[in-house]
Structure 1
Amino acid sequence: MPRHLFLSVLLLCLSCKVANKNSMMAQNPSPMEEYIRPHERVDGSGFEGKKIPLTGIFEKDPLLLMGNATSRDSVNLLIHFHGSENVVAHAVDENEGWVAVAVNLGNGSSAYGAPLASPETFDSLLLAVKNLVTKPIRKIYLSGFSAGYGAVRAILKTRNYELIAGVLLLDGLHASYVPAQTPMANGGQIDEEDLAVFKKLAADAVMGSKIFVFTHSSIFPGTFVSTTECADYLLEATGTRRKPVLREGPVGMQQLAVSTQGKFKILAFAGNTAPDHIDHLHGLFHFVRLFSHPH
Structure 2
Amino acid sequence: MVRPTVARCLAYAAFALVLAPAADARAQLPAATGRQIALSQPAWKLFVPDDYQDRGGVADLLVHFHGDPQTVWNNAAYARLNAVVLTVNYSGLSSAYTGPFTNRRLFGSLLGESLNKLRALDDFSDNLEWDRVGVSSFSAGYGAVREILKQSGYRDQIDGVLAADSLYASTASDGTPLDSQMADYKTYATLAQQGAKTLLFSHSRVLTHTYENTAETGDELLAHLGVAASPVDRDGLGDLRFYREAQSGGFRLWGAEGADGDAHLAHLRYMGEFLRELPLAKVPEPSALMLALPGLAMAAMRRRRRIAEVR
The match for 1:141 among 125, 134, 143 is 134
Separation in structure 1 between the aligned mates of residue 7 and residue 43 of structure 2, nearest angstrom = 31
SS at match of 1:177: coil
Separation in structure 2 between the aligned mates of residue 30 and residue 244 of structure 1, nearest angstrom = 32
Q: What percent of counterpart residues are identical?
A: 29
Aligned partner of 1:67 in structure 2 is 49
Aligned partner of 1:14 in structure 2 is none
1:168 aligns with 2:162: yes
Separation in structure 1 between the aligned mates of residue 250 and residue 81 of structure 2, nearest angstrom = 22
1:237 aligns with 2:224: yes
1:215 aligns with 2:199: no
- CA gap of 1:188–1:29, structure 2 versus 1, over 3 A, is same
- CA gap of 1:217–1:53, structure 2 versus 1, over 3 A, is same
Once structures 1 and 2 are overlaid, which stretch shifts more, 251-260 or 72-81? 72-81
Contact 2:64–2:88 (CA<8 Å) still a contact in 1? yes
Deviations 1:70-101 (A, max 9, x none): 33414320000000011122134332411111
SS at match of 2:276: helix
Offset of residue 129 of structure 1: 1.1
5 Å-filtered alignment, 1:7-26, equals 23-26=1-4
- CA gap of 1:84–1:255, structure 2 versus 1, over 3 A, is same
SS at match of 2:105: helix
Offset of residue 24 of structure 1: 3.0
Aligned partner of 1:82 in structure 2 is 66
For structure 1, the residue ranges without an aligned partner over 5 or more in a row are 1-22, 32-38, 180-186
Greater Cα radius of gyration, structure 1 or 2 = 2
Deviations 1:130-160 (A, max 9, x none): 1123254321111000000010001111232
Contact 1:255–1:267 (CA<8 Å) still a contact in 2? yes
Offset of residue 258 of structure 1: 0.8
Separation in structure 2 between the aligned mates of residue 236 and residue 49 of structure 1, nearest angstrom = 42
Question: What's the TM-score once normalised by structure 2's chain length?
Answer: 0.76
The match for 1:247 among 218, 221, 234 is 234
Aligned partner of 2:112 in structure 1 is 127
5 Å-filtered alignment, 1:1-295, equals 23-26=1-4, 28=6, 40-42=24-26, 46-56=31-41, 60-73=42-55, 74-94=58-78, 95-133=80-118, 134=124, 136-158=129-151, 159-179=153-173, 188-292=175-279
Separation in structure 2 between the aligned mates of residue 78 and residue 203 of structure 1, nearest angstrom = 22
Offset of residue 265 of structure 1: 0.5
Amino acid in structure 2 at the alignment position of 1:140: V
For structure 2, the residue ranges without an aligned partner over 5 or more in a row are 10-22, 119-123, 281-311
The number of aligned residues is: 254
Greater per-residue helix proportion? 2
SS at match of 1:259: strand
Contact 2:192–2:251 (CA<8 Å) still a contact in 1? yes
Separation in structure 2 between the aligned mates of residue 68 and residue 111 of structure 1, nearest angstrom = 32
SS at match of 2:4: coil
Separation in structure 2 between the aligned mates of residue 260 and residue 72 of structure 1, nearest angstrom = 33
Aligned partner of 1:17 in structure 2 is none
Separation in structure 2 between the aligned mates of residue 234 and residue 178 of structure 1, nearest angstrom = 15
Offset of residue 189 of structure 1: 3.5
Contact 2:134–2:279 (CA<8 Å) still a contact in 1? no
Amino acid in structure 2 at the alignment position of 1:71: Q
Separation in structure 2 between the aligned mates of residue 29 and residue 164 of structure 1, nearest angstrom = 29
Amino acid in structure 1 at the alignment position of 2:116: N
Offset of residue 45 of structure 1: 9.8
Offset of residue 206 of structure 1: 0.4
Contact 1:64–1:101 (CA<8 Å) still a contact in 2? yes
Amino acid in structure 2 at the alignment position of 1:53: A
Name the Cα RMSD after superposition. Answer: 2.3
Once structures 1 and 2 are overlaid, which stretch shifts more, 85-94 or 206-215? 85-94
Offset of residue 114 of structure 1: 1.1
SS at match of 1:290: coil
